[in-house]
Copies of this chain bind each other. A is one copy, B any other.
């Protein structure tokens, strides 16, 4: 199957413009893809100044402008498409990822591990860390800073995810290399779709590191985008390789794993 990322620079608060850019870039540059991942908060931009402001740009998971746009891209490409967006669910706000399949069905994941001031803007996610079926395989959805907690990728992998789909707005430098360890230790693929550019709001600004990538189950970087600019990266992978959990010929990690010693990690 063909999988890829769409890296670009959203404009803060300009939802319509961002959605147009996503659709244009995807339909021009991602033909033939089976699974496409876009950045975190791709439709709103990232650097909110208040919770009120998040309210203004957030939208329901079903029937909002992001949902309609991703539905169109998924149908048009015949691909599963995942993008981050600001989700409003009644009075509650989440930093979420929306998955659309070509048949119009969808799935929402709400970020578990909030970064810095996101704690002021969003509720911590309540989504179970369970894979979701799409594009003929099992996807593990996680968002940006979720990478920092090995438990997130671990649980998704233990439960059968073959490809970690990872919309991101990375500002720290560590994640691209750390995701190689996540892939190696779980023997799964990962698609990290990061944004580029800088959000400037009042006297605050935040810059993002690009470097979107696809990593294989052996920890090798199959594709990596530059740190700046709009890039669509697409690569052929075999998700069944991620079903093989054998590192050495005698070390199937899912079988060898000493969960009898690991009490104390959950609860």
Contacts and interface: CB of A to CB of B under 8 A. Distances in A.
A155 B248 CA distance: 25
Nearest to A177: B177
Interface stretch (A74-82, A190-198, A209-217, A249-257): A249-257
Interface in A219-267: 219, 247-251, 253, 256-267
A16 to B, nearest CB: 32
Number of copies of this chain that the complex holds = 2
A178 B250 CA distance: 21
Contact of A117 (B154, B159, B180, B250): B250
A158 B264 contact: yes
Contacts of A119: 250
A121 to B, nearest CB: 12
Nearest to A173: B219
Interface stretch (A6-14, A32-40, A143-151): A143-151
A28 B123 CA distance: 57
Interface of A: 112-117, 119, 124, 128-129, 145, 148-151, 154-155, 158-159, 172, 174, 177-178, 180-181, 184-185, 219, 247-251, 253, 256-267
